[in-house]
Amino acid sequence: MDAGSGPISPAPSLQEGSFGCPICLDALRDPVTTPCGHNFCLECIGAHRHRPGGLTGAGEQSASRCPLCQEPFPADLPLRKNHTLAELLQLRQPTSSSAGLAMAPEEASEPRAPGNADAQTEEVLCDFCTGGERAEAAKSCLVCLASFCSPHLQPHLKSPAFQSHRLVPPLRHIEENLCKLHLKPLESFCRTDRSCICQLCRAQEHRSHEVVAVEVEREHVEAQRPKILNNTENQLDELGVAIAQMKRMVDLIKATAQKEREKVSSLFAEATKVLVTFKKEVLDFIEVDERAMLSGAEEELQRREERHALLMEHKRNLEKVPSMDTITFLQEFQALKIAAEEKKIACTNFPRELSFIKSSQAVFAVKELLGNICKNQWDQLSGKGENGPFLHGMSEVTVEPQVSERSINPACLESRYYFLKFAFIIDLDSDTADKFIQLFGTKGAKRVLSPIAYPESSTRFINCEQVLGENLMNRGNYYWEVEIIDGWVSIGVITENFNPQESYDRGRLGRNETSCCLQWNGQNYVAWFGGFDCVIQQPFFHTIGVYLEYSEKVLTFYGVKDSKMTCLQQFKVARFKKGHFDPFQNKINHQFPALFVHNLKPAFFLESVDAHMQLGPLKKDCVSVLKRR
């Protein structure tokens, strides 16, 4: 459009205040602002002002005019890029709904205004000054979005076209004083929403709100400032005191925690020393016993080997004598006879069970006891423990040989005739018998020195001289009797899912959590479960009665003599007596009930080389439930 043809009508899509160029109808690129306050692309306004036709009536070239309002401005006025508007366009670019508002690559490379931290220290410069130095701005225009020095500000002061422009003290970031929604100056304050708004906001979203001019709100706030500042000072003083107290509390907590941490570390170090000392003592005990037993055994072995060699030599000499040499035959025979009739070497009595094998049991008991004490102490420390005895050390632990509270079980007071009505006939299972156990029918078993060629079986014990009964127990009450004929015999029960290939240490009855037993070791009875033992001071009984209450999870062993029953040991969950802690009973309380999740079988362990047992004959007239299960 020519300069004299009238103002350019903006496209319908370009609303007032939008960032579109009125000439190319596209997003502003390198925006410049004319003295009248309108914004154009630098390239568009440059091409427009140099078009022919901008002449006066005298034939001389007239001054350039704004394409929108036809306001003249000096033809030689240099038009410079409005950096503030360019930055604002760049900030609005990601949220713009028009693809035409995308910034040109050269715009993105323009330097941005310094941050807020420099706004108070750096002066605001004129956006229209050319040359090497730019003058300091006197005013900023919220309509032009530019700052002007005094000379460049004159059109705003003198020309009527700028009367509607709003001049404010120099602003480095003019966009902060514009409405982010409408890009209009923030001239009002909404007391309802407590925010600054523009005229369009006032007419739209805030038309029903209480709105005043920003200057009025400033005066109102200034009147309240002394009171607010006084209240703030009081809060600052209170917070200062509270902060000082909390700092002292934090320091106290840290110092106390550090001292407690050091004390606990020291106690753990001492406890570790105690365990290390105990470990050394147990290992030394094993070594000393091993050395003592090996010394006697090796000496005995050497003597027997020497006697064996001497007899073999005389025997070979006698065999080498010719049949015709009678004198030599008589001499060699006499020498062999004398050697054979010499006083036999006394047999050294070695213990049937090596004493040091109890070391692992002792250490296991310490480990279990330590674990239980640690759990108890932690439960008490964390507030989870029940109100009960609070263990403070190993010195309080005592073991009682007799089982707790056995007198409360009515079965302990009954005679043999009471138990016979629960008689349970047991047959030994030959498929479980170890190769060093000889069975006599289905009722007797004896340990032998020569292995028996039993057929292979997946349920046969291979490391322990044990045999099981064929019968399963999974409900009700059961009673059977065992006669100990000779040697060390253990009588008990085992779960159906036993492992016959378990090692000797773990596979024996009572040395694991899947079985329990009563053992006769030639001197006294010993109850075993989970590797823990309890010695029972009772005289020897040839007949042992076993009473299993499956539903009640109770197993009781009796010494039987005539019709009298003597309770030897009862396996059941029981409370500790006040002031006492029994590791054996503690093991039963925690793990014995788990046996009754499975089917149970009668079990027998012939420990010594001369062990011999027989399943006791129950009177036929008392057995009314033979093979009933």
3-state SS record for 188-226: EEECCCCEEECHHHHHCCCCCCCEEEHHHHHHHHHHHHH
Mean per-residue pLDDT pooled into runs of 10, the chain (629 residues): 40 48 81 86 81 45 73 79 79 48 38 41 77 81 83 86 82 76 83 88 87 86 86 89 92 93 93 91 88 82 88 88 86 85 62 68 84 84 59 38 41 76 91 94 92 93 94 92 94 94 92 94 92 91 94 94 90 80 88 93 93 79 38
**Predicted TM-score (pTM) of this structure:** 0.40
Q: What residues contact residue 387 under an 8 Å CB cut-off, 6+ apart?
A: none
Q: What residues contact residue 175 under an 8 Å CB cut-off, 6+ apart?
A: 84, 87, 88, 91, 145
Check residue 579 and give its pLDDT.
64
Q: What is the DSSP letter of 357?
A: G
Please provide residue 512's backbone torsions phi and psi, each rounded to the nearest 5 degrees. -140, 180
CA–CA separation, 84 vs 173, rounded Å?
7
CA 114 vs CA 31, 141, 170: distances in Å: 20, 19, 15
Check residue 348 and give its pLDDT.
57
CA 74 vs CA 21, 77, 272: distances in Å: 21, 5, 96
Assigned token pair, 415 = 């005679």
CA–CA separation, 26 vs 19, rounded Å?
9
Check residue 331 and give its pLDDT.
87
Assigned token pair, 72 = 């003249």
Q: What is the dihedral of CA 104, 110, 113, 118, to 10 degrees?
A: 150
Check residue 528 and give its pLDDT.
95
